[in-house]
Structure 1
Amino acid sequence: MSIEILNNPLFGLILTILSFNIGLFIFEKSKKFSLLNPLLIGGIIVIIIMEIFNIPLNYYQKGGVMLSFFLAPATIALALPLYRQIDKLKEHFFPIIIGALVGAVTAIVSIIFIGKALGIDTVLLKSFMPKSITTPLGIELSNLLGGIPAITIFAIIITGITGNAIAPFICKTFKIKHPVAKGLGIGISSHAVGTAKAIEMGEIEGAMSALSIVIAGIITFIVAPLLLFLI
């Protein structure tokens, strides 16, 4: 590929959009098989193309920055289903707050203890700690903790895809039937990607999942630096 094409920000943007749409096509053709999530397939396609053509990462990032700009507005837009279910929020306010607090702390502590048991490097542990919050918040927290944002993004994506794939199975296995409980658990554990699955389950599940993204993000920002002493 010519330098002129690679140096154009549209290169990374178009490559990402095309790869995602190929992943979406495969996902639809597979009758929405969870492990063929378009985000995962699209990411693999991008990696393969960049490896085959030996494209430096900085060329891709020029277009990637344009997409990253829309991450925060897209997350904020999740407030719409929450607004529609504001009565549910008022009715279950304290269980939601307590559930979000327990979920956020558990996500961090489990990573620390599992990581230490496996002998994972301290910097990598700090990078994995924000894995259960949405990407814009995770990047900032990773920088604050002294982690590697690129590793954090990878962990967030894998966490989200895993939650999206297994959430229905978990709910069925453990007989979780209350829509608020479903949405809260999915949002806290697998942020926006999991919320997409929660929205498929129902409007209440989607609204509670969207709410938990915000609450879990705030709690994680407060608690994670306080738990660094465990590393």
Structure 2
Amino acid sequence: MSNLPLFILFVALTIGAYLATRWLFLTYRHPLLNPVFLSTVALIAFLQATGLTLEEYRPAKDVMTYLLGPATVALALPLYHNRRVLKSHALPVLSGVVAGSLTTMAAALVAGRGLGLDERVLLSLGPKSVTVPIAVEISRLTGGEASLTAAFVVATGMIGSIMGPSLLSLCRVKSPVARGLALGTVSHGQGTAVALLENETAGAMGGVAMAIAAVFTALVAPYYLPLFLH
């Protein structure tokens, strides 16, 4: 590693920014205090203020991104603690995630067509609600643009994790199972992270929804998305 002090600085700043914004969110519970959103803004502001570049930040980002794999696997722990809840709600969980996955793809494509987006952009938009690696592969298979899909996925996760809890509360959805499923299905990892901040049961259901939605979308998207293009 060519610049170890800078690497350590960026890792420490990223972790510090997240912990600080997480504390703010847990203290005030305001949707705009979303930890991912606020910490991202704080890091961008720091880079702009100091004149440091994204390329200099990249080594730290790559290491922390690599840790997303173990972090995702760690979601199995709250799931294990809530295994009885999952077992007792197995059919509603499966049917809800399937319906949610189909609906979110359809809504995105219908809105995109209404806005006059071309076919390649629509195909890139379709798999926006599943995690980036799977969404990018779906995009490639269907003829979309991988970089656009990655941007749509990140934006979806950000918007869903900020607005999702408030919308669910507005609709009087109080069940941790239902809230976790909704956030995980629509907003993948970022939604699951916010669900986990609410309580362990919601986080566990978010992880289940994220996994089922990813598998289901990967199976049906190549056949489902073209239906909205013609």
Q: TM-score, structure 1 length as denominator? A: 0.80
Aligned to 2:117: 120
Aligned to 1:184: 181
Residue 74 of structure 2 is aligned to residue 89 of structure 1: no
- Give the Cα–Cα distance (whole angstroms) in 1 for the partners of residues 74 and 167 of structure 2: 27
Extract unaligned runs of 5+ from structure 2.
none
Aligned to 2:17: 22
RMSD of aligned residue pairs (Cα, Å)? 2.9
Aligned to 2:217: 220
Aligned to 1:210: 207
| 2:34 counterpart letter in structure 1 | N
- Give the Cα–Cα distance (whole angstroms) in 1 for the partners of residues 175 and 24 of structure 2: 31
Extract unaligned runs of 5+ from structure 1.
none
- Give the Cα–Cα distance (whole angstroms) in 2 for the partners of residues 167 and 189 of structure 1: 9
- Give the Cα–Cα distance (whole angstroms) in 1 for the partners of residues 99 and 92 of structure 2: 10
Residues 1:13 and 1:224: Cα distance change in structure 2 (over 3 Å): farther
Q: Is the Cα contact below 8 Å between 1:20 and 1:43 reproduced in 2?
A: no
| 1:222 counterpart letter in structure 2 | L
> Shift in Å at residue 26 of structure 1?
5.1
Residues 1:42 and 1:175: Cα distance change in structure 2 (over 3 Å): closer
CA deviations 1:87-130 (Å, max 9, x no partner) are: 11111111111111000111111111111110123232222222
> Shift in Å at residue 133 of structure 1?
1.4
- Give the Cα–Cα distance (whole angstroms) in 2 for the partners of residues 61 and 147 of structure 1: 26
- Give the Cα–Cα distance (whole angstroms) in 2 for the partners of residues 155 and 10 of structure 1: 33
Q: Is the Cα contact below 8 Å between 2:24 and 2:33 reproduced in 1?
A: no
| 2:182 counterpart letter in structure 1 | G
Residues 1:121 and 1:168: Cα distance change in structure 2 (over 3 Å): same
Greater mean deviation of Cα atoms: 183-192 or 145-154 = 145-154
Residue 98 of structure 2 is aligned to residue 101 of structure 1: yes
> Shift in Å at residue 45 of structure 1?
4.7
Aligned to 1:75: 72
> Shift in Å at residue 137 of structure 1?
2.4
Helix, strand or coil for the counterpart of 1:227?
A: helix
Aligned to 1:156: 153
CA deviations 1:197-226 (Å, max 9, x no partner) are: 222332222211111010001011112111
